[in-house]
Amino acid sequence: MTKVLILDAGNKNGLACIRSLGEKGFIIGGASTTSAFRNQGFYSKYCKYKHVLSEIRDRDSYAEKLLDILKAENYDVLMPVGLTSYLTVSKYKPEFLAHTNLVIADGDAMQIASNKDKTMEFADKLDIPIPETTVIHSESDLSRISKFPVVIKSSDDAGTFVKYANNSSELTKNYNYLKTVSHTNIIVQEYIRGFGCGFYGVYKNGELKAHFMHKRLKEFPLTGGPSAMAESYFDDELFRLGKKLMDGLKWNGPVMVEFKYDLKDNRYKLMEVNPKLWGSLDLTIAAGVDVPKMLVDIALGNEFEFKGYKYVKYKWLFPDMLLVLISQFGLANLKEFLSTNLKTNIDLRDIKPNLFEVVLSVRDGFNLLLHPQRKYPHGKIKRGEANEF
């Protein structure tokens, strides 16, 4: 029987992979840099082997410990989940392929996709719409920014290193903060008012084998973060733009291309590329696109048929929807939280991970009540006298 090692087992998309493949009879091992007690994927009944990687100093030591596991345990397929895992495995791709099968982009394509300054430059050459973007090399470059509000972010890890600025004073303050924590270029972009959506692809050596699109309905933090509620979505232009970008990179493996629909210009604008498995993977699987199984098939040289996808509206109750409810308590959010008509990642056949999520949600909820500023970690965009959030 095929034995699969799933990295980042504590992530919600790691759990989605464990459940998807485990229920099909694959032998599942989970690996994580967090302790077993704090790892929701380890609570799944499908996770037979559990590997905790400690004393990880950098990507080099991470790769070394992963290779030790593969040499000892004879896994047929390696499946990274989080960004650090994809960057690590891509960097040492030949070494990993000597011991297992996997689907991952080469280093050059990965570098363009994972660094926002390089992504925007590449997309602009392909005539893919992007927000007005300025790369900041020194504080003096900030004087070139005259239109507000703007988003200031590190070229990597935007979920952590993002701030909003409504004026030059906030811009300078946020730049001085980001340059102390970022190891890559800092960029400033116009703030796009509109809805978030994404193109998701599964590629094999530059060829798109399957795709999916979704629209974000709610997210936490409120200022931008993982989806708390989302739905299947389709738009020909979104498909064209996402495919054009990733075809240009001759991609290999899974990818999420995030766009915002600019209500001012009435067109999609590229936000970033996530060269990994996306956080809303549960929705993709529920809509009929079983990405984990497809990746195993590609890794092992098996063929599969993509039959499109169906409309699904999906929510992640814990902790995401609960935190949205605490942040914006109201009747509409309460009804959505309690509604039984929407699909969720609650699985009564494999309930232990969800019970673990509930425990963490209680902790996170209390922290949010005690520290309400966590609702807006990126700051607030002001529009006239009213706040955007």
For residue 20, the model assigns a pLDDT of 98
For residue 159, the model assigns a pLDDT of 57
Question: What is the distance between the alpha carbons of residues 323 and 344, in angstroms, rounded to a whole number?
Answer: 16
pLDDT digit string, tens, across residues 100-130: 999 999 999 999 999 999 999 999 999 999 9
For residue 224, the model assigns a pLDDT of 86
3-state secondary structure the chain: CCEEEECCCCCHHHHHHHHHHHCCCCEEEEEECCCHHHCHHHHCCCEEEEEECCCCCCHHHHHHHHHHHHHHHCCCEEECCCHHHHHHHHHCHHHHHCCCECCCCCHHHHHHHHCHHHHHHHHHHCCCCCCCEEEECCHHHHHHCCCCCEEEEECCCCCCCEEEECCHHHHHHHHHHHHHHCCCCEEEEECCCEEEEEEEEEEECCEEEEEEEEEEEEECCCCCCCEEEEEECCCHHHHHHHHHHHHHCCCCEEEEEEEEEECCCCEEEEEEEECCCCCCHHHHHHCCCCHHHHHHHHHHCCCCCCCCCCCCEEECHHHHHHHHHHHCCCHHHHHHHHCCCCEECCCHHHCHHHHHHHHHHHHHHHHHHHCHHHHCCCCCCEECCEECC
What is the residue-averaged pLDDT of the chain? 94
pTM: 0.95
Structure tokens at 13: 């998309």
Query: For residue 18, is pLDDT > 70?
Result: yes
Establish whether the linkage from the previous residue to 353 is cis, with ω within 30° of 0.
Answer: no
Question: What is the distance between the alpha carbons of residues 119 and 329, in angstroms, rounded to a whole number?
Answer: 37
Backbone angles phi, psi at 383, to 5 degrees: -125, 100
pLDDT digit string, tens, across residues 132-166: 999 999 999 999 999 999 999 999 875 578 999 99
For residue 55, the model assigns a pLDDT of 83
Domains, the chain, in order of start with CATH, read 3-102 (3.40.50.720), 132-191 (3.30.1490.20), 194-375 (3.30.470.20)
Length of the chain: 389
Average pLDDT of the residues in 40-44: 97
Question: What is the distance between the alpha carbons of residues 160 and 59, in angstroms, rounded to a whole number?
Answer: 19
Q: Are 259 and 197 in contact (CB under 8 A)?
A: yes
For residue 385, the model assigns a pLDDT of 39
For residue 225, the model assigns a pLDDT of 87
Question: What is the distance between the alpha carbons of residues 361 and 366, in angstroms, rounded to a whole number?
Answer: 8
Q: Are 179 and 186 in contact (CB under 8 A)?
A: yes
For residue 386, the model assigns a pLDDT of 41
For residue 161, the model assigns a pLDDT of 86
pLDDT exceeding 90 applies to what percent of the chain? 89
Query: For residue 254, is pLDDT > 70?
Result: yes
For residue 354, the model assigns a pLDDT of 97
Query: For residue 80, is pLDDT > 60?
Result: yes
What is the C-alpha end-to-end distance of the chain, expressed in Å?
50
For residue 326, the model assigns a pLDDT of 95
Average pLDDT of the residues in 298-312: 97
Average pLDDT of the residues in 169-192: 93
For residue 315, the model assigns a pLDDT of 97
pLDDT digit string, tens, across residues 199-253: 999 999 999 999 999 999 999 998 888 899 999 999 999 999 999 999 999 999 9
Q: Could you tell me the CA-to-CA distances from 164 to 25, 148, 167, 189, 380 in Å, in that order? A: 46, 10, 9, 10, 6
